[in-house]
Chain A
Amino acid sequence: MLRKEAKLSDKVFSEDIEKVPTRNGYGEGLVELGRKDKRVVALTADLTESTRVENFKKEFPERFIQVGVAEQAMATIASGMANYGKIPFISSYAAFSPGRNWEQIRTTIALNNVPVKIAGHHAGISVGPDGATHQMLEDIALMRAMPNMIVVAPCDAIEAKKATIAVAFNGKPTYLRFAREKTPVFTTDKTPFNVVEAQVFWESEFPKVAIVACGPLVYEALLAADELSRSDIGSMVINCHTIKPIDEETIIEAAKKCEAVITVEEHQINGGLGGAVAEVLSKNFPVPMGFIGMPDHFGESGEPDELLEKYGMKSRHIIEAVRKVIRRK
């Protein structure tokens, strides 16, 4: 059942749940930060509107910097600004930033250890019709392999706003992952959020499996948990919004309680959240695991829902994976 402490929306399982893209939460968080601290600056590479920096630009034109279609310049210019003492947020599609400018991020932001905030938008396969070139499915792997980097993938628009605000003053290089598509808003302003703590959203009395998810697919995990409970399969759903540093304690606790784990992410299975969780468990408390995500494959054009269905990232796929992993216990 839903954990009361998580203070999720009353409408979490209702048909008319509100849907908003996570990138909107980023845009709102950025404006709030702009009002809070003059050091906050925003850089874009010709994608101001779709990365939701438009309102920041309107309210703080003197702190908005357009660099043109030049993601490598955006990362390195932001490095210089952070080195000076600003708090720069750089926004583009994840396929280009950190996709194209990864080395610049590695050398001039991560190794240089300056607090640039990298917002990767349109991440995941749910970008849809734009096709494989724009469906970034490798960014978590790229960023979590990098020392000094914090990696956060919020589950809905409200959490996206909280995460944006929460990382602004952490003094560290940080990657924030956002999606294009409208997705259910199932957390509330009252849902606790702390970058270093994964949250248990669902916990049955006798859970047999822990579903560890990040990003908007956390919602699919909740749908799966609800469905499973009807066939008497208890579970836990953990919103692991922060992939690096990962909340080892919560994951190990869940593995001890359930003795089977499924990970869920809109990312390549190779090197993503699933890998991060497997690294923690294999060292501390190995249990059978299953992985929901992209199976070493590029995406293609299609509607977001069609793609999630085709590549196996819907609640029914999670349910199948749960049944399989339980048999392996």
Chain B
Amino acid sequence: MTIPELEKKANEIRQDIIKMLLEAGSGHSAGPLGMADVFTALYFEILKHDPQNPEWEERDRLFLSNGHICPVRYATMAHAGYFPIEELLTLRKLGSRLQGHPERERLPGVETTSGPLGSGLAQASGYAYASKMDSQKFIIYCVCSDGEHDEGNHWEAVAFAGKYNLSNLMVFVDRNNIQIDGYTEDVMPLEPLKAKYEAFNWSVIEVDGHNIEAIIDAANMAKAIHENPTVIICRTIPGKGVEFMENLPEWHGKPPNLGETIEALAELRTLGGKIASEHE
């Protein structure tokens, strides 16, 4: 797909996220909207995968650590062909494969069960370590939030992956600066985040998380780094694409109501896929 086509796809995914959240009546808005461009880049360009065969042995593995942003993963997977788009409206409903937080045994392709924060990177690291033992060629990707860097378990994994030079591990951090109780730098400062990863023997790339071309370039660059694991810190705007949600911590953990949904969808449709990058 061309970059404009990918941008259009990300916009469609955002619209589905809004519709899913309205239907579910609960869930997280800001994170999924903010990561729509990263997930579009991952599923439509970066990942080696086969939606018809989610258990394909040679596939790249994508671990989602901050499971609460699963609406963006579900929506992107549906658009990529893993399951019918209509199924998205079953999010959080009884019997649905689309659990409020993702479960490995319910939906093929989600790779692991996640939700409680700070544990995804360690799982991805264990997976990367095991696949390195067997000289596997695929790459292990992990998406994390910035807020979950408050967790000790996350930093234990950063130390582990750094010690064992897990070069087959690539991490995307959603650096959107918000968490449930407010701005990350107020709740528990994370900066200097880049320097912290470097101190643990990681390669660090910083990127505009809404510039799909830049995200793809960063992943390509990370694939060429063979000496240690790479973290791509994606500067994102929480709620991106829906102006009244952007940058506000109160949209972290709630869904839009009907009026807000109409407003959000109207805004996304008139954007026509053109999400202006504000980091350039």
Contacts and interface: CB of A to CB of B under 8 A. Distances in A.
Given A85-B130, A107-B115, A113-B105, A77 B159 contact: no
A129 interface: no
A142 interface: no
Contact of A73 (B63, B111, B122): B122
Contacts of B127: 80-81, 83-84
Interface string A120-146: 000000000000000000000000000
Contacts of B152: 72
Is the contact region of chain B dominated by helix, strand, or loop, or is it mixed? helix
Contact of A86 (B115, B130, B160): B130
Interface residues of A, number: 28
A84 B130 contact: yes
B130 A81 contact: yes
B114 interface: yes
A17 interface: no
B176 interface: no
Interface stretch (A61-69, A248-256, A301-309): A61-69
A68 B156 contact: yes
* Most B-side CB within 10 Å, residue of A68, A81, A103: A81
Contacts of B165: none
B25 interface: no
Contacts of B157: 73, 76-77
A77 B130 CA distance: 10
* Most A-side CB within 10 Å, residue of B124, B153, B159: B153
Contacts of A78: 126
Given A67-B156, A67-B160, A104-B153, A76 B133 contact: no
* Most B-side CB within 10 Å, residue of A68, A72, A82, A85: A72
* Most A-side CB within 10 Å, residue of B63, B131, B133: B133
Interface string B104-145: 110000011111100100111111111101000000000000
B103 interface: yes
Contact of B156 (A41, A72, A79): A72
A72 B103 CA distance: 20
B254 to A, nearest CB: 23
Contacts of A72: 119, 122, 152-153, 156
A76 B114 contact: no
B123 A77 contact: yes
Is the contact region of chain A dominated by helix, strand, or loop, or is it mixed? helix
Contact of B119 (A68, A76, A82): A76
Given A67-B160, A76-B157, A112 B104 contact: yes
A60 to B, nearest CB: 11
B7 to A, nearest CB: 33
A111 interface: yes
Given A73-B160, A112-B112, A80 B153 contact: no
B171 to A, nearest CB: 13
Contacts of A196: none
Q: How large is the interface on B (under 10, 10 to 19, 20 to 34, 35 or more residues)?
A: 20 to 34
A9 interface: no
A108 B103 CA distance: 10
B125 A80 contact: yes
Contacts of B105: 112-113
A108 B129 contact: no
A87 to B, nearest CB: 11
B119 A107 contact: yes
Given A73-B153, A80-B128, A83-B112, A108 B160 contact: no
A112 B116 CA distance: 12
Interface in B3-40: none
A41 B63 CA distance: 22
B156 A70 contact: yes
A69 B103 CA distance: 29
A76 B116 contact: no
Contacts of B128: 80
Contact of B126 (A70, A77, A103): A77
B113 A77 contact: no
A234 B135 CA distance: 61
A111 B130 CA distance: 21
Contacts of A113: 104-105
A108 B113 contact: yes
A147 to B, nearest CB: 12
A278 to B, nearest CB: 31
A79 B104 CA distance: 12
B168 to A, nearest CB: 12
A31 B256 CA distance: 56
A72 B105 CA distance: 22
20 contacts: A67-B156, A68-B156, A72-B119, A73-B153, A76-B119, A76-B126, A76-B157, A77-B123, A79-B112, A79-B123, A80-B127, A80-B129, A83-B123, A86-B130, A104-B119, A107-B114, A107-B115, A107-B119, A111-B113, A113-B104
Given A72-B156, A80-B130, A107-B119, 7 more contacts: A76-B122, A76-B123, A79-B119, A79-B122, A104-B116, A104-B122, A108-B113
